Structure formats: structure tokens, C-alpha cells
A and B are shown apart, each in its own frame.
Chain A
Amino acid sequence: MRRETCQVLILGAGPGGYVCAIRAGQLGLDTVVVEAAAPGGTCLNVGCIPSKALIHAANEFQAARHLAGPNALGITGAAPTIELSRTMAWKDGIVARLTGGVAGLMRKAKVRMVAGQARILDGKSVEVATSDGPLHIQTEHLVIATGSRPQDLPVLPFGGDILSSTEALSLAAVPRRLAIVGGGYIGLEIGTAMAKLGAEVTVVEAAPRLLPQYDAELTRPVAARLKTLGVAVLTGARAQGFADGALVVATAEGDRRIPADKVLVTVGRAAATGGFGLELLQLDMAGPFIAVDDRCRTSMHRVHAIGDVTGDPMLAHRAMAQGNLVAEVIAGRNAVWDKRAMPAVCFTDPEIVTVGRLPGDAPEAAVTSFPFAGNGRALTLERDDGFVRVVHDRATGLVLGIQAVGAGVSELAGQFALALEMAATLTDIAATIHAHPTLGETVQEAALKGLGQALHM
């Protein structure tokens, strides 16, 4: 068998793994990444990027459809059509460009890439089934970055017309009727896009409302928009199975049949901890996830874990930060996880951004908010729904959390996170000039309002 050795061996080239690899390479560590599929992981191949491409295409299509009818802008046009297979080809082009870019960056950092399925032999050695036969790799440090997979339901196993997010992002045609089981952000992002592309969408959620991890104030504009788009929402409903072209759901009023051509199941993601010999290591687990400390160290010496396998929130940027951290830790730097802010974005319509504490997490804190209805830029974009909200310490004005719901607010996530990391106060935000006319002015206005100095209210 062919044999190789390295200092750092990373299992998985998703956002966590490839960032870890690039940073490790930059730090002069002899690094190998093993990946069975294309680099970039779920995020680049079947997650963040493809879904954002689909959402963009859907928004463009929907705008064109809107402009084909009577509209306030005075634009006349013909009713558009869409050939989804061409949309998908365009999306695949973006994915290919990005995954190629990631591979190039790793090469530049002198990271060796091994294509194939890895199997752990022990905490420092792995066998990879490559196209050239098995390859044995011996390492000094092992980094587990195997990510997560869509979770299915026993009553709705993936296959045929039962889709996971992966298949939903590669459909060749828009389904006429799409039922979505799970009203979390993945289901709503894809569901909204499909509705804009012309599908008849029904969302089934077991909790009493959509996006149950957020408060009702934040999700209300999203629910309102779904209604406008004609998306049917069934809350407090549990999927029972799919038969004769219909999804059967149990509700408080009894079973209901929802006719559907395709059923998308988005009930969460499960850590990918099985199928590659991880059990051999008998690492300490935190529930279904690998337990790690503030340096992403597992219970085994020189075995690290990063990304979705280490638990919630399963976010690409969290994995990237962990990957960066682990590379520095392995290189002997004094690095530790001390992040204060973990921004999260829902690319629903309108978008939701959350950072830090929600009002419900900090009942003793004060809350100030400002609506986009009072923002000039929002009006020029024909989207005055939503608001920015700042949770802050009552006495000192220290910012504890910032949330926003509104069209395009995802681009404010950076500012929100920066405010928390820098330990900003309301005064800091209020005293910072925010360019006019931008959506970001609402953040400054919310801060001013919290200080009792609102100008535009």
C-alpha cells in the first residue's frame, strides 16, 4: 500500500476543512486534506452558494413577472418564462468557479489534496480509498471536519419524489406543487424561491410557528411575505407520509392530504460522524456531536474537530473560524475560541439577521428598534417591511444583541457582529456617521432612539 506522512491531516474540505488547510499551509505545516467529493463541502456544492444562486434567479424572475403586470414604476414588459435547467447550469458554473478557486488557494498554500473516502485506522492514521488504490496516511495531528448531512424522517425517507435540500437545488424543472416539511430557514429559503418561480408551495411545520428559534416579532414580516407570495403554511402539523401524490399531515383538526409532485424534507441536519471509522477513537461526545474544548480539541490527544460535527449552530462561518483557530493551535500559537458574536442569516424574503442576545434571552435588558418604513433607501427599493432592533444593557448602553428583518439586511450582518466584538455601546453606534441614503441608517437611528435622541421618528 502507498504510504504518506504529514503533520496535519484534515478529513473534509468544506468551509472548516479548507480554511484550516490553507491556514495550516500558510503557517508552514505539512498539510493533507482528504475529500471524497469536490472541495467546498456542503456550503459551496449543495448549500449556501447554490441556494443563494437559486434565490437570486427566483427574485429576478419574480421581479420580471411583477413588471409584466401593472406596477408603480411604470415599466411594461412581457410575461417571462424560465428554463430551470439553464438556471441550474448557470448555478453549476458559479459552484465550479468557487470550488476551483478553493482548490487553487489550497495549492497555493502547498496543501496536498487527496480525493477519496477516508477511513480512520487510529487517532493518527487514516486509509483513503483513492482511484489509484488505497493510500495510508500517517499524521501528527488529525482534524475531523466531516460536516453534516440532511436529516430525513422515518416516514419520509429521501429518494424519488422525496427530496433533501441537495436534490431541491438541482431540479431540472420547477415542480408544479411542492410540499415542504420543516419550516426552518432551509425550507423557507428554498420554498420562497420555488414559489417565486411559480410552484404552488405548502410549508408544514410541527412547531406553532415558522422559524421557531426566533421571536414572533422577527418572523412576522416573513410570514406576511409568504402569504403575499401565495405560500400555504401549516403550523402545528406533523408529516405522516407520502402516498398517491399527496403528503399526509396530522393536525389538531385531523389528518390532511396535501397534493404534491415533490416533497422537500428540511427538518434539520445530522452531524456526519458515522461511516468513516470515527467510532474507533471513542471520542467524548456532546449528544450527537463531537465534544470539543475552546481550542477545538477532542478528548483524544492531537485530534481536533471543527464545523458541523461539533454541533450547533451549523454555520459555514463558524466552521471557518474554527478551522483557522485549529491551524493556529497546531502551529503552537496561543489561540483560543473567544468569539463574542456568531451572526446568523436567513435568506428568506425578507431576510433575517441575528447576532447576540434576543430580547427573550435577556429579559433585564432594554430593546430599541427602528422600522424600514422610516428609511428613505428602503422606500426607493419598494421594500419598507421590517426593522432593525438593538438589545442593550439598560444602564451602560452596552450592545448585547442586534437583529434585523428586511430585504437586503444580510449585508448588515458584518456591522452587527463588529459592534458586539468591539463591545460597542449605543453611543458608539449613534455617534458613527452612517452613509445616507442606506439601509444601515436604521441601525444608527435605532441606537439614537435607545438613547432618547431619535431624529427621524
Chain B
Amino acid sequence: MSISSIRVPDVGEGVAEVELVEWHVKPGDIVREDDTIAAVMTDKATVEIPSLFAGKVLSLGGEIGETLAVGAVLVTIEHAGEGRVASAPAPAPQAEAAPAAPAEAPMPKAPSAAPLGSVAPRPAVQAPLASPAVRARAREAGLDLRQLRGTGPAGRITETDLAAALAAPPQAPAAPTGRRREGSEQIRILGLRRKIADRMALANARIPHITVIEEIDMTALEDLRATMNATRGERPKLTVLPFIAAALCRAVVDHPEMNAHFDDDAGIVTRHRPVHLGIATMTGAGLMVPVLRHAESLGPFAAAAEIARLAEAARSGKATRDELTGSTLTISSLGPLGAIATTPIINAPEVAILGVNKMAVRPMWDGRQFVPRQMMNLSASFDHRVIDGWDAARFVQRLKQLLETPALIFMEPEV
């Protein structure tokens, strides 16, 4: 690695000084070649200065508003390859004034010869100037001496400089580098948004959530889904959702405590036999939860068609009250936006909710080697008042088993 400095270029037209108007980088930033590092202003135009190197910005040559001479060091950059001192190329100034009449246009000047020699009387210092003792102390303290300005002869970093730097409080937040934003805006929470707010607050306040996150190998299910989609004919295209719905319906046969409502005022848990599956859906107005009625009775294609219909109805505001109430268990999926893990909030008075996270190919160890597998995490939240962690974990394990061996989903429930 070496360190090079980029100097203020000769922007032409006899300009000897420029004003720093904008930094696009700060120390520690990684820049690529040609990335804009700063904007400087002459009395004629604003000029953006590109980086000549790809590397890490070590130091800045001044603050916004400071005036720098042409040839002054603008930034130092640590990069691979030989150390250099270079003037940034002078790009064509973006003239702010309206184009002048052709007759007044200045003749293009011949490129100024060898700005490098004329502006670089000193060699780029490769390493900070400091005694071995100072260097060793800085290394122990984890301080990069290149960030320090030495007060000794020739810019040597003295013991005192180092002591001052070590005693200094952690660096103040960087000075603002752009235009500040002012003001604020008040928005009244009404309608659906008000309702969502109330329900979320209630659910989060009253229900002690326990969330279990488990990773699922979706490879087999994805193969099945691909095959079914390839032979679907006129039927709707299957997403993962109908399969997860089917797995849930199968799993609650063994875990009836999950498909239930808890009336905490009355102290009664009502277990439901049918699975009315709430499908959390994003609409223009906000989050809505249309209900897939009797999900347990629907095959994948029927479920897919119904989910699509409900989502459309919710989004277009045509969903009936019936279609938006009565769910016994809810699925929340952010689809391709999904994250590695979420912590879903239970749709009260239900006692469980399943969050579906993003699927991705990840390397998995099969005992001998890493193999690429379609992996997806499930985040399941439970009402810890009525569901113990042990049951929550067993339920999630059952879901995992069903999804990883999808044939099990479609076997007759052992009632």
C-alpha cells in the first residue's frame, strides 16, 4: 500500500485559489477512481474534483469555506501501488453564468505544462514523521499517526502531539458537509392507520411475545413448486405462500393450541377447528389482514387463487367486512423485501403468528462439504401467556419438518 495526495488542480484562467464548498468524502471512506471527492468554487465556476486513485481517504486538506491555493493538498489517499503526488485533472468548469456570446468566449488555453513539478516541491511523505518510541506508543494505543498533524520540525509528531491526541475526547461528530434540512410536518393519524396503531399498541402491550426463528431448507419444496408451476396449465402460478399455509394447516392438527383465540378478560382460550388464515397484506392505505377461510380445505392452486383475489380486494378497497375479520392464525410475509429475521406482532386475540422471511441460496454443511441450498428463515411469535417456549419450539420444528419434506404436508391428517 502507499499513500498519495491529490492536490488542487489548476482550473485555468489564472485562478490561484479556490474555495472548498463541499466534501463528498470523509477520512476513512473508501473511494473509487473518478469518484467525486470535493467541490471547489472559483469566482467563475464550481468544479468537482474526482479521485485519481481507488483507496481509503486518510485526511482532508481543509474545511468547508476554507480557501486553498492551487497545488495545495486536497486529500491523501491510501491505495495499492506506488505512492504519487498528483494534481486532480481539471475538469471543464460547470459555468454557472449563462453562456457568453461566442465572441467573448475565451480562447482555450494550452494545457499548462507539468503541473506536477510546479506544485510538488516536496516528496509525498510515505510514512508519518515520528520517533520509534512515538510510533510504538501510537501502535499500542491503536492510533493511526497519519491522522495527526505534527508540531515538530518538518511536521514531526512529537511525544506531546501524541499525548494530546490520546488525551483528546473521541472525535467530535463530523461537521455538517451539506445543506441542512429545517422544519417538520405533522400528520394526523386517522382511519385505518389509527386502527392499526391501536391494535399494534394493544397487542404489543398486553401480549408477552416469544419469537422463535428457525432456518428452513426449502430446496425440496422449491423443486416441488417448480414442477407444479411447470405443469400448471391455466391455473395460477404458485408462490411459496400456499405451501406455507398448507404446512400450517397440517401442523395445527398436532398443535391445536396454536389455532386459537385468547380472551384474556374472560380468561378463556378458544381452540378452532377450521383454519381461517389471516394473510397480512400491504395496501395503499396500510396494513390489512384479509382472511383465507377454511384454508385447511384448499389445495395449493385454490389457495393461490383465493389469496390473489383477497389481496386484490384489499388493495382496491373492495374487501368486505367478512373478508377482513375472523382469522384464527396469521401469516406475515414481506416477500422479496423480507429480511433475515423479523419479530412479528400477534394479531390479537390470536395466539400465534408466522413471519416468512426472504429465501436465499446459502452454503450449508452436509457433513462432508458445503452445498448450495435454498434457505429461508421462519419467525414465529407466540403469546407466552398461553404458549410455553417448549411448545412453541416443537411447533416450529414440526413446520420445519413439513416444509423440508413437503410430501408430508399432503398426507391425510392423522386425526
Q: What is the CA–CA distance of A163 and B135 in the complex, to the nearest angstrom? A: 45
Residue numbers in B under 8 Å from A334 (CB-CB): 139-140
**Is the Cβ of A395 less than 8 Å from the Cβ of B122?**
yes
The B-contacting residues of A in range 314-371, CB under 8 angstroms, are 334-336, 338, 340, 362, 364-365
**Is the Cβ of B153 less than 8 Å from the Cβ of A397?**
yes
Place the interface of chain B in its size category. Answer: 10 to 19
**Is the Cβ of A397 less than 8 Å from the Cβ of B154?**
yes
Q: What is the CA–CA distance of A421 and B127 in the complex, to the nearest angstrom? A: 11
**Is the Cβ of A364 less than 8 Å from the Cβ of B154?**
no
From A338, A365, A425, B154 is in contact (CB under 8 Å) with A425
Q: What is the CA–CA distance of A393 and B122 in the complex, to the nearest angstrom? A: 7
**Is the Cβ of B139 less than 8 Å from the Cβ of A396?**
no
Please tell me if A412 contacts chain B, counting CB pairs below 8 Å: no
B82 to chain A, nearest CB (A): 14
Q: What is the CA–CA distance of A393 and B155 in the complex, to the nearest angstrom? A: 12
Residue numbers in A under 8 Å from B122 (CB-CB): 364, 393-396
A234-263 CB mask vs B (1 if < 8 Å, else 0) is: 000000000000000000000000000000
A413-442 CB mask vs B (1 if < 8 Å, else 0) is: 000000001110101100000000000000
Q: What is the CA–CA distance of A338 and B138 in the complex, to the nearest angstrom? A: 12
**Is the Cβ of A365 less than 8 Å from the Cβ of B127?**
no
Residue numbers in A under 8 Å from B121 (CB-CB): 364, 394-395
**Is the Cβ of A423 less than 8 Å from the Cβ of B123?**
no
Residue numbers in A under 8 Å from B279 (CB-CB): none
**Is the Cβ of A423 less than 8 Å from the Cβ of B131?**
yes
Please tell me if A229 contacts chain B, counting CB pairs below 8 Å: no
Residue numbers in B under 8 Å from A94 (CB-CB): none
Residue numbers in B under 8 Å from A428 (CB-CB): 153
A263 to chain B, nearest CB (A): 42
Please report whether the interface of chain A is mostly helix, strand, loop or mixed according to DSSP: loop
Q: What is the CA–CA distance of A338 and B154 in the complex, to the nearest angstrom? A: 19
Please tell me if B272 contacts chain A, counting CB pairs below 8 Å: no
A397 to chain B, nearest CB (A): 6
A334 to chain B, nearest CB (A): 6
**Is the Cβ of B139 less than 8 Å from the Cβ of A421?**
no
A391-414 CB mask vs B (1 if < 8 Å, else 0) is: 001111110000000000000000
Q: What is the CA–CA distance of A396 and B131 in the complex, to the nearest angstrom? A: 17
Nearest A-chain residue to B142, judged by Cβ = A334
**Is the Cβ of B123 less than 8 Å from the Cβ of A422?**
no
B135 to chain A, nearest CB (A): 6
Residue numbers in B under 8 Å from A335 (CB-CB): 139
Please tell me if B57 contacts chain A, counting CB pairs below 8 Å: no
Q: What is the CA–CA distance of A434 and B48 in the complex, to the nearest angstrom? A: 53
Please tell me if B90 contacts chain A, counting CB pairs below 8 Å: no
Q: What is the CA–CA distance of A394 and B121 in the complex, to the nearest angstrom? A: 8
From A393, A421, A427, B123 is in contact (CB under 8 Å) with A393
**Is the Cβ of B127 less than 8 Å from the Cβ of A340?**
yes
Nearest B-chain residue to A341, judged by Cβ = B132
**Is the Cβ of A398 less than 8 Å from the Cβ of B127?**
no
**Is the Cβ of B153 less than 8 Å from the Cβ of A421?**
no
Residue numbers in A under 8 Å from B152 (CB-CB): 423
**Is the Cβ of B123 less than 8 Å from the Cβ of A365?**
yes
Q: What is the CA–CA distance of A406 and B1 in the complex, to the nearest angstrom? A: 37
A357 to chain B, nearest CB (A): 9
Residue numbers in B under 8 Å from A364 (CB-CB): 121-123
A317 to chain B, nearest CB (A): 15
Q: What is the CA–CA distance of A395 and B125 in the complex, to the nearest angstrom? A: 13
On whether A423 and B129 interact (CB within 8 A), knowing A362-B123, A365-B123, A428-B153, the answer reads yes
Please tell me if B313 contacts chain A, counting CB pairs below 8 Å: no
Residue numbers in A under 8 Å from B131 (CB-CB): 421-423
A333 to chain B, nearest CB (A): 9
**Is the Cβ of A396 less than 8 Å from the Cβ of B127?**
no
**Is the Cβ of A396 less than 8 Å from the Cβ of B154?**
yes
Residue numbers in B under 8 Å from A340 (CB-CB): 127
Q: What is the CA–CA distance of A398 and B153 in the complex, to the nearest angstrom? A: 8
Residue numbers in A under 8 Å from B130 (CB-CB): 423
The A-contacting residues of B in range 120-159, CB under 8 angstroms, are 121-123, 127, 129-132, 135, 139-140, 152-156
Task: Give A residues with C-beta under 8 Å from B.
Answer: 334-336, 338, 340, 362, 364-365, 393-398, 421-423, 425, 427-428
Q: Given A395-B122, A396-B122, A398-B153, output 9 extra A-B contacts at Cβ < 8 Å.
A: A335-B139, A336-B139, A362-B123, A364-B123, A396-B154, A396-B155, A397-B153, A422-B131, A423-B131
Which 9 A-B residue pairings sit nearest by Cβ, starting from the closest?
Answer: A396-B154, A423-B129, A398-B154, A425-B153, A422-B131, A423-B156, A425-B154, A421-B132, A334-B139
A-B CB contact pairs (8 Å), 19 listed = A334-B139, A334-B140, A336-B139, A338-B139, A340-B127, A364-B122, A393-B123, A393-B154, A395-B122, A396-B122, A396-B154, A397-B153, A421-B131, A422-B132, A423-B130, A423-B131, A425-B153, A425-B156, A427-B153
